[in-house]
Amino acid sequence: MKLLYYSAVATGGLADYAHAQANALAQLGIEVTMLCPADAEVPASTRYKRVPELVPFARRIAFRRLQQAGRIIRNIRFLERHIRKSHFSHVLLGSYSEYLSPLWANRLTRLAREGIVFGAVVHDPVRDFVLGPRWWHRWSIACAYSFLQEAFVHGEIALDTAQRMPELHTTVVPHGQTRFPPGSQGRQITRKQLDLPSTATVLLAFGHVRDGKNLDLILKAMRAFPAIYLVVAGKEQSSGQRRLNYYQKIAKSFGVAERCRWWNDYVPESKVGDLFEASDIVLLTYSRQFVSASSVLGAAVQFRRLCLASSGDGPVREVVTKYRLGKWVEPDSMEAIEAGLQCLIQNPTTPDWDSFSRENSWEANARIVAERMFEDRLH
């Protein structure tokens, strides 16, 4: 069984997911080839073949949108050529994306009509970031689903495909855990480096800084907890989101700035363990619009840290409550966050770490994906 895995991102959570999933599929005996960007990081212990020939993400600010449009279309053309040249019959897209799909989807639709099986991991099933007019956005969503036979999601959801897609099958798969190296210097040393009191309760907001994580409500809630400190570790996401200095200003206005630590950069893997081990509570306080899975949750489980979580009805709520991984609270509410923090400090849960790790492994993810993608070969 041969599988072509298309991963158009070079770094970050989507790239980590693609690597782990491709490795797990290869471990099942599938011959996996990954198409990835030329500047993609080379991960350790790769069991699949890498073809790093996709066009990298545009790094110049000037004309970035135009460059990105050209990049998307060129990479799809390369995908089509590789499918035909190497005679792949099964193709898995590491993430679903509708951007500019009316300009490229017809290439993959033709292949699907010729019998090529296409699947995609739909990390963000609610496509609410609109580029251009509404009609174009809806058409783009439909085009990007039109050639797929398999959509893999991380929680039960009725996908909004914009048009009826009778050939599309939706399957829930667990979100495997990204494994990080353990901390190298110990809890107290890291706290000392970050100027954190050894006895303080430390909150960790890890990952991209963006509006939907309700960081402003966390800062507001901190006023009621003078012994709580906050570490924000992750890069600003994009110009369309509030910048880090916005949160720094409101932290000052709330009188909590002295208890905040800011790391506005990509956190190297070697430092992730130290950050989690120095913290007490991991923040997953997503807005009501967030119905996706969270890779940060897996890291919290790895380092045995309780979570304060909020979201829409989706994988985060389901997993946190099922395995008692912390406290889930109503989204977008400072009062709910405040009550959740009080509960975690005074009456922490007893999580079922082992069951979560067993049932949300990459092996379980890969088995389900393989069964769906190769159903025609297995039966």
Domain extent listing, the chain? 2-176+361-378, 187-359
pLDDT for residue 61 is more than 60:
no
The number of C-alpha atoms within 13 Å of 55 and in the hemisphere containing its C-beta is: 15
Question: Rounded distance, CA 356 to CA 362, Å?
Answer: 12
Which amino acid does the sequence have at 257? A
The per-residue pLDDT for range 12-47, each reduced to its tens digit, is: 888 989 999 999 999 999 999 999 999 888 887 899
Question: What topology does CATH give the domain 2-176+361-378?
Answer: Rossmann fold (3.40.50)
With contact defined as beta carbons under 8 Å apart, do 155 and 321 qualify?
no
The per-residue pLDDT for range 252-290, each reduced to its tens digit, is: 999 999 999 999 888 888 899 999 999 999 999 999 999
With contact defined as beta carbons under 8 Å apart, do 271 and 184 qualify?
no
Question: Rounded distance, CA 124 to CA 295, Å?
Answer: 13
Which amino acid does the sequence have at 293? A
Compute the C-alpha angle 345/351/357, nearest 5°: 140
Name the CATH architecture for the domain at 187-359.
3-Layer(aba) Sandwich (3.40)
Question: Rounded distance, CA 140 to CA 96, Å?
Answer: 12
pLDDT at 80: 97
Supply the DSSP symbol for 132.
Answer: S
Q: Of the given ranges (16-30, 106-120, 175-189, 191-205), which has the lowest mean pLDDT?
A: 175-189
* Same fold: 2-176+361-378 with 187-359: yes
Model-level pTM?
0.85
Question: Rounded distance, CA 373 to CA 376, Å?
Answer: 8
